[in-house]
Structure formats: C-alpha cells, structure tokens
C-alpha cells in the first residue's frame, strides 16, 4: 500500500486536476505538499471521503472512490463520536433548487441532480487515481477510528440570511418561513494524514489553487482561516523566512556587501536593508537549502564488528553522544555492554571497549569537556567507569583500547552527567536518590536521598554553573538543585501532568526543556521554573509513549520523538511552531521503527542523529543520521559508505 511520495512522482502530470489518495498510508504533511506542488492544475484533492447522512442515519452519495448510497452503509467501523452537524438556514419558500445546491458541498450536489441528468458532464469528470476495493485485502482495512463524524461549519448565503427578517431576496420573493436544515458528515477511507493536527488548514494554505478538499468546497473564509492557522502553528521555512530564495542569490548578496561601496556598480547596489550580518546570511542559507530539500538526506551509521575482525559481529546501540569539541567523533554504548567511539563522518571505529562481562546495557554516557579524550559510561547493572581513549597502547589491529577508572556502583542506573568544570558527575536511576562523584579522586562523595517521590530517570548539570543541576522524575516533577545549598530542598519545583522522562538545559542555560510521557513537551525558564512555551504536540493516548526532546541549532529549535511513534518533530524553540516532521520506516518490508533516543548535531545546523529501534521482527536498533539541508536524491553518492535509509514521507 502506498505510504510515501517520491519527489518527482507528479512531475510529468502538469494537467492533472483531480486526485484521490483515499485509504493509502500517506502520513507526512510536508513531503505530501512538496510532491503535490508539481501539480499546478490540481483543483480537487481527496485523502478521505466526507459522506453526508441525515439524522436517521441515511447517507447521501459521494463523488469518488466508493459510491455508498443511503441503503448501503459502509462496512468500515466508525469511531464513536458525538454527532456533529452542518447547520444551514434555508428559506424553503423562496430558495430554488439551484440556490439550495449552491449552499451544499460539491459532493452533496449530486443528490439534487435530476434522475435523468447525465452525471458524467465534462465539467465534472473525475480524473482521480484511487484504489479499487477488490484490490485491497481485508487485512488492509482501515484500523478502528479511521472513520469518524465531525462538525463542519458552513455559511448561509446572503439571500438566505436576509430572508430571516422577511426582506426581499435576490429572487424578488418575500420570505415567510426559514428552516434550519442540519447535515451530518462521516469520514470514510481516510488516510493517516487526515489525522494530523490542522491537516485541512495545512493543505488549504499550501495549495492556493485547490478548490475542493475531501469532497468539501473551499470557501474564501476557509482559505483565510487556514492561512491564519498555518501561521500560528507552522513554519514554512526556518528562521521566519517567508519566501524561498536560491542559495546563489544569497551568496551574491553577501559578496556585493563585501565590495566597498565606492567600487560597486549600480547593478551591484543591495536591494535589501543594509547591515545584514554574516549570522543572518548563514540563517538565510539554511532556509534556502531546506526550502529546496523536501526529502532530507538520511542514512544509517554503518558500523559493524567487521572492523574488529568479527565478520558476523554487529552492534546493538542503546545510547549515544556527540563529542562536545571534536565534530567528527561520537560514542555509543550497546545493549551488550560495549562502548564504541567512532568517527561518524568516515564511519570508522576509533576506539572499542568490550564489556569484559562487567557491564550490561550501557544507558549513561557523558564526555568530559576539558579533557576531550575522557568519558563516563554507566550501565544498568550499576557499573560506572571513566575511560581515557588517548593514553593507552594500540591493539594488533590498530584499534585503541581504553584505560579506565572504576567508581562505586549505582544500582539500576539510567543517567550520568558531568558538570561544567569536569570535577564532578551525578548518577541517577530507578530510585529516588542521586549520587555525587568526584572525578579526580574516583570517590563517591555523597548520596542525596528521597529527592523525588518516584524514580529519577534523568539528571543534568547546567552547562555553565558547576553546582546547578536539574532532575526529572516519573512523580511528574522537575526540580532544580544547587550543590552549594546542600540539596535538601530544591530551588524550585515545576510539575507536569504526566511522568517526566527527561530534562535538559538550553546551551545558554536560559531554559529547561522538559519532556513528559506522551508528547508533553514544555520549555521552562531556568531562573524560576515558570512556563515559557508549551509545544502542544498531539498526544497518542498511550501511557507507555516515552518522549525525549533536545535542542537543535543551539537553542533555536528543538527535536522531539517518542518510543511509540516513528516520527521526529522539529519545532521552533521561541514560538513552538512546527517546522518539519521526519518519519522513519524499517528497511524490511512490513517492519516498523520507533524513536528510542535522539541528539542534535552541535556543529552542523539542522543535522541530527536518531537511535531508532525495530518493533518487529526483532529488537535490532541503529543510529540514523539526518541532514535537513541536503536532498535525499542528490546526496546518495556522498553517503561515505553509509547505506541510504528508507523513509516513509520524511519531512524536510
């Protein structure tokens, strides 16, 4: 079943006017719009059928894939929702048949056609591409909840409204009776994209020539409201750039500004206001590149045991971290207790640290900032070690092993973090306690007990203050602490509506990014814990949908993903508006993936890595690198040995 569009799939269909994509698996708004933008003549689009039915349950026929009449109810199950109606004030004494038809959506007009009228008039030829029912296996029927009833507001015509007061209508008649006619709509054969938040407004605002969407006409007021909704909730381009601009144009402007004004020709005089900084040009370049790359470049990090002489060996990553000062390095820990330092640009192993039977799954990793060859690794069995990947001899195959320092164990560990001076680190886990360690002496200094009512999943030091740290717990609280005050009481407490999965500081320490279960992502002011921004990511309803969020491009954007979903969302950290969705699909047919962890690349704008795990047929996981500024098509040859990653409607 169709699940994604290729970039050029409609490039040879400039005259296509009507398109039906009902009952597909299309789900991504951004790549869908990018593909449909190749259809300049498109005026009618359908990802679902809105069927009109009256209050007693009969439904009118609809134009499209499934001509379901009043006596032929749909076989698909319907989501139990309160009946929602379209109310129209119609003057039954003066409204002609044509006037009534003008009030109704395009698909309902068919009910008012004369029985002998030819419905295949040239003006209504359906050029839709649709899936025939006999081509669909019963196992591919829409899941429960994919058929729904909604309220569809509508406007009465000026003639109908004027007749409420008994005034003369446009037909010259006087009204003495006004009826309130209610129409109920039910959705059938809906594709997943229809359930994306603000789907209808997004489509209308993005396809200006569209006249009919999902059997319902697009009125001027619909378009105006769609544009307002789009501006409120979405970014078309990053950094508030409103129009697409070519990279060449931006570079030309930058070069013209670099020429002393006395040497400029009249044609070289800048058209935009003076004083544009190099920082602004860099942002404009990002916007230009993203505007031309709807499908981002994605590939899995191709690292295996072959580099170690093990032909059958493969790693099972469980956690990873970018190096804070070396743009080419990354470390990941595995489910088998291994710690692997890689050059992720060349996809080569730099250092390999086996488990030696002492470590289980590596859940905590943190580089030291002032000693770039050192890192802390912690596993779920409580093992804690400091590794130095520089001061040790090479092995026979040229790979480095690491010297290590062992710390006192912290049972059921889930998180470690080093402070800004590389003197201390904290550990937390499946307990209400946090342990403080001295890196220089290798000693555990103190255990702070009962800091929360439930276990503390993540602990993070501030980026600049060596004594300030934050904790996130499944007791729904985020707490700020100060080591100088012997943390008995928190500096403050901020509460979420669900259990907190993680917290992190913005690079400048102005904000805290708190992620609670099922997409509850909020940005807090680090000074007092007050709410700065609620990103309002739609919830799935799952209590096991553990959400993780991190900063991207400094503190400009955030990325957020959850373990029950195959999508990563990119949102502006100042407005909360959504920039893109990035969707993952497994390499094997029928396999699905979910987001286990993710990090923004600290050196490359709009680059990130995602730890994605298969839900079936195995629990295999892999690190996927994403570049939102590069195209999936033009960068395949530049993958540096990494395999191109299959995607399902990857936003970009």
437 contacts 407 by C-beta, under 8 angstroms: yes
Predicted pLDDT of residue 616: 62
pLDDT tens-digit map of 432-486 = 999 999 999 999 999 999 999 999 999 999 999 999 999 999 999 999 999 999 8
Q: Which two tokens stand for residue 14?
A: 């400039």
Task: Output the CA–CA distances (angstroms, integers) from residue 347 to 249, 259, 341, 633, in the order listed.
Answer: 34, 41, 10, 21
Q: How far apart are CA 386 and CA 440, in angstroms?
A: 10
Contacts of 339 (CB under 8 A, 6+ apart): 331, 332, 333, 352, 353, 362, 365, 375, 377, 387, 402
Cβ–Cβ contacts within 10 Å for residue 295, how many? Answer: 23
Higher local confidence (pLDDT), 71 or 311: 311
pLDDT tens-digit map of 95-123 = 334 443 444 444 444 433 433 344 333 33
Dihedral angle sign, alpha carbons of residues 285, 291, 293, 294: positive
Cβ–Cβ contacts within 10 Å for residue 599, how many? Answer: 21
- Are β-strands 18-20 and 44-46 bridged in parallel, bridged antiparallel, or unpaired? parallel
Average pLDDT on 169-193 reads 62
Predicted pLDDT of residue 585: 73
How far the first Cα of the chain sits from its last, in Å, is: 23
- What does R_g of the chain's alpha carbons equal in angstroms? 29
CATH superfamily label, 18-51+186-234: Ribonuclease Inhibitor (3.80.10.10)
Q: At what angle do helices 220-233 and 199-206 cross, to 10 degrees?
A: 110
Taking every pair of Cα atoms in the chain, the longest distance, rounded to a whole number of angstroms, is 99
Under the banding of pLDDT at 50, 70 and 90, the label for residue 281 is confident
Higher local confidence (pLDDT), 140 or 222: 222
Under the banding of pLDDT at 50, 70 and 90, the label for residue 628 is very high
318 contacts 334 by C-beta, under 8 angstroms: yes
Q: Which of 380, 387, 313, 405 is nearest to 350 (CA)?
A: 387
Q: List the domain boundaries for the chain.
A: 18-51+186-234, 291-632
Matching residue, tokens 């409201």:
225
Contacts of 84 (CB under 8 A, 6+ apart): 149, 150, 151, 152, 184, 185
pLDDT tens-digit map of 354-408 = 986 666 899 999 999 999 999 999 999 999 999 998 865 445 455 555 678 999 9
Dihedral angle sign, alpha carbons of residues 600, 601, 606, 608: negative
Q: Which of 336, 295, 250, 347 is nearest to 35 (CA)?
A: 295
Average pLDDT on 590-607 reads 89
Fold match between domain 18-51+186-234 and domain 291-632? no
Q: Which CATH architecture has domain 291-632?
A: 7 Propeller (2.130)
Flag whether pLDDT at 586 surpasses 70. Answer: no
66 contacts 189 by C-beta, under 8 angstroms: yes
pTM over 0.85: no
Q: How far apart are CA 438 and CA 425, in angstroms?
A: 7
Q: Which two tokens stand for residue 150?
A: 């909604």
């Amino acid at each position: 079943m169709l699940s994604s569009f290729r970039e050029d799939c409609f490039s040879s269909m400039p005259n296509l006017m009507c398109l039906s994509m009902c009952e597909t698996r299309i789900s991504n708004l951004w790549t869908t719009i990018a593909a449909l933008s190749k259809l300049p003549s498109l005026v009618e689009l359908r990802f679902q059928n809105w069927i009109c039915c009256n209050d007693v349950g009969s439904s009118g026929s609809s134009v499209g894939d499934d001509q379901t009449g009043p006596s032929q109810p749909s076989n698909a199950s319907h989501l139990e929702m309160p009946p929602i109606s379209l109310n129209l004030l119609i003057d039954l004494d003066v409204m002609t048949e044509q006037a009534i038809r003008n009030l109704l959506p395009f698909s309902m007009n068919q009910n008012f056609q004369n029985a002998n009228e030819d419905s295949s008039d040239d003006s209504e030829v359906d050029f839709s591409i649709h899936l025939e029912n006999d081509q669909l296996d019963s196992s591919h029927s829409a899941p429960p909840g994919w058929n729904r009833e909604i309220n569809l507001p509508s406007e009465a015509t000026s003639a109908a409204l004027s007749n409420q007061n008994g005034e003369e209508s446009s037909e010259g008649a006087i009204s003495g009776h006004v009826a309130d006619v209610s129409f109920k709509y039910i959705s059938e054969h809906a594709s997943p994209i229809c359930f994306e938040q603000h789907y209808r407004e997004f489509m209308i605002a993005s396809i200006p020539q569209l006249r009919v969407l999902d059997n319902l006409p697009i009125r001027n007021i619909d378009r105006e409201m769609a544009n307002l909704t789009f501006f409120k909730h979405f970014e078309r381009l990053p950094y508030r750039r409103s129009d697409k601009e070519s990279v060449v144009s931006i570079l030309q402007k930058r070069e013209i500004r670099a020429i002393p004004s006395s040497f400029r020709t009249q044609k070289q005089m800048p058209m935009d206001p003076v004083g544009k900084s190099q920082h602004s040009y860099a942002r404009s370049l990002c916007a230009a590149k993203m505007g031309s790359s709807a499908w981002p470049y994605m590939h899995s990090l191709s690292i295996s045991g072959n580099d170690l002489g093990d032909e059958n060996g493969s790693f099972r990553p469980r956690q990873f971290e970018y190096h804070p000062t070396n743009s080419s390095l990354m470390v990941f820990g595995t489910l088998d207790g291994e710690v692997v330092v890689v050059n992720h640009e060349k996809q080569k192993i730099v250092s390999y640290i086996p488990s030696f039977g002492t470590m289980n799954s590596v859940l905590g990793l943190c580089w030291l900032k002032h000693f770039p060859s050192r890192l802390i690794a912690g596993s779920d069995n409580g093992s804690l070690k400091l590794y130095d990947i520089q001061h040790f001899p090479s092995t026979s195959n040229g790979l480095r092993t690491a010297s290590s320092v062992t710390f006192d164990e912290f049972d059921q560990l889930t998180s470690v973090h080093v402070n800004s001076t590389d003197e201390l680190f904290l550990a937390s886990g499946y307990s209400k306690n946090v342990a403080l360690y001295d890196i220089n002496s290798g000693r555990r200094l103190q255990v702070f007990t009962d800091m929360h009512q439930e276990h503390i999943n993540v602990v993070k030091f501030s980026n600049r203050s060596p004594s300030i740290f934050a904790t996130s717990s499944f007791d729904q609280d985020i707490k700020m602490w100060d080591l100088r005050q012997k943390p008995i009481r928190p500096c403050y407490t901020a509460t979420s509506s669900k259990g907190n999965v993680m917290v992190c500081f913005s690079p400048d320490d102005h904000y805290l990014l708190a992620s609670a279960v099922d997409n509850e992502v909020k940005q807090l002011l680090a000074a007092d814990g007050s709410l700065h921004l609620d990103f309002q990511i739609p919830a799935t309803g799952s209590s096991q949908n553990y959400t993780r969020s991190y900063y991207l491009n400094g503190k400009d954007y955030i990325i957020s993903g959850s373990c029950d979903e195959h999508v990563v969302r990119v949102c502006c950290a100042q407005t909360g508006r959504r920039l893109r969705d990035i969707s993952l699909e497994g390499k094997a047919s029928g396999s699905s993936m979910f987001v286990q962890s993710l990090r923004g690349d600290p050196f490359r704008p709009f680059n990130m890595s995602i730890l994605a795990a298969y839900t079936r047929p195995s629990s295999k996981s892999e690190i996927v690198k994403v570049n939102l500024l590069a195209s999936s098509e033009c960068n395949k040859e530049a993958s540096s040995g990494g395999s191109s990653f299959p995607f399902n409607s990857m936003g970009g």
